């Protein structure tokens, strides 16, 4: 298999303390996966300049094709992503004129003065390109560094999704020419441990990804969701491979007295 690695960074104490479930990372993960990327790591860190700088530096050192962070771009004292990213890249934080004009326009349209806190959202690492945010104020921050597409989006889900799409459509340079496909089988009455040796064999035989997700009790009432996933250049080829694996799995399941279900 051919890999286009991606990393996701989530910035926010509320995710660390469990107050907020990290649905932003799931959304970004799904979107990147659908484009053909393999997400290799998600890192959740505090709203702290040094933590943010470390997380970006560590991700850059692992050399993925794309790094996407969410959170920490707002007007408050604890929004420190721009500063942390600048530190990671070893460049200055500066007032970005394009970003400044984007923000100024939004406030002046409504006759709201541009305070220091509002202006703060226009500060970006040197060399950054602001990404339009049609759902809020703070623009995204895009930098192409060491052949890596680096993007920082706001943490508010609606804004995160919007800025991410604007980035994918207009700026993303490392576009994998890969398709990703997946299919599922739902099974009752087969223990995960009983299926395990067959799955292991099929993974080897087809060089494909198969994962069993137990959804109930292994012993008394086993229910499994079996995920079969592959990526490659030719959609038809992956589809055919997944179909073959599915058929072999269904045969095994029947042999083990399993019942195929239409859904969970």
Which residues here bind a copy of itself, judged by CB under 8 A? Answer: 10, 13-23, 25-33, 38-47, 51, 58, 74-78, 106-107, 110, 112, 115-118, 135-137, 156, 191-197, 199-200, 203, 209, 211-214, 217-219, 227, 229
> Closer to a copy of itself at the Cβ: 126 or 257?
257
> Closer to a copy of itself at the Cβ: 26 or 247?
26
We find the least distance from the C-beta atom of residue 253 to a copy of itself, in angstroms, to be 15
> Closer to a copy of itself at the Cβ: 219 or 236?
219
Pure H helices in 139-180:
157-170
> Closer to a copy of itself at the Cβ: 55 or 143?
55
We find the least distance from the C-beta atom of residue 163 to a copy of itself, in angstroms, to be 15
Place of tokens 């479930």: 21
CA torsion through residues 11, 100, 94, 78, sign: negative
- Going through the chain in order, the beta strands assigned E by DSSP cover 5-11, 38-45, 66-70, 93-95, 123-125, 129-131, 140-145, 148-153, 179-188, 209-214, 223-232, 259-261
We find the least distance from the C-beta atom of residue 115 to a copy of itself, in angstroms, to be 7
> Cα–chain-centroid distance for residue 96?
26
Task: Count Cβ atoms below 10 Å from residue 96 Cβ, excluding itself.
Answer: 23
CA torsion through residues 255, 261, 263, 264, sign: negative
We find the least distance from the C-beta atom of residue 127 to a copy of itself, in angstroms, to be 26
We find the least distance from the C-beta atom of residue 11 to a copy of itself, in angstroms, to be 11
> Closer to a copy of itself at the Cβ: 91 or 203?
203
Torsion of CA 137, 121, 129, 34, to 10 degrees: -60
């Amino acid at each position: 298999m051919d890999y286009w690695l991606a990393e996701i960074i989530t910035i926010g104490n509320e995710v660390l303390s469990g107050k907020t479930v990290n649905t932003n990372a799931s959304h970004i993960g799904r979107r990147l996966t659908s484009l053909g990327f393999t997400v290799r790591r998600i890192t959740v860190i505090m709203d702290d300049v040094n933590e943010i700088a470390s997380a970006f530096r560590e991700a850059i050192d692992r050399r993925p094709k794309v790094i996407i962070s969410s959170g920490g771009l707002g007007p408050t004292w604890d929004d420190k992503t721009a500063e942390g990213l600048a530190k990671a890249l070893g460049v200055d934080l500066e007032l970005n004129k394009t970003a400044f004009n984007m923000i100024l326009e939004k406030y002046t349209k409504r006759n709201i003065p541009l305070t220091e806190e509002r202006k703060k959202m226009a500060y970006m690492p040197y060399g950054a390109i602001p990404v339009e945010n049609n759902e809020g104020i703070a623009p995204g921050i895009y930098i192409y560094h060491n052949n890596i597409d680096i993007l920082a989006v706001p943490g508010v889900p609606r804004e995160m999704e919007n800025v991410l799409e604007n980035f994918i459509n207009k700026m993303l340079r490392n576009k994998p020419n890969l398709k990703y496909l997946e299919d599922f089988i739902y099974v009752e009455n087969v223990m995960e441990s009983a299926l395990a040796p067959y799955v292991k064999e099929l993974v080897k035989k087809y060089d494909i990804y198969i994962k069993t997700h137990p959804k109930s009790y292994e012993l008394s009432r086993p229910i499994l969701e079996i995920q079969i996933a592959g990526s490659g250049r030719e959609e038809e080829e992956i589809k055919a491979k997944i179909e073959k694996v599915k058929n072999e799995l269904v045969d095994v399941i029947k042999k083990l007295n399993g019942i195929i279900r239409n859904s969970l």
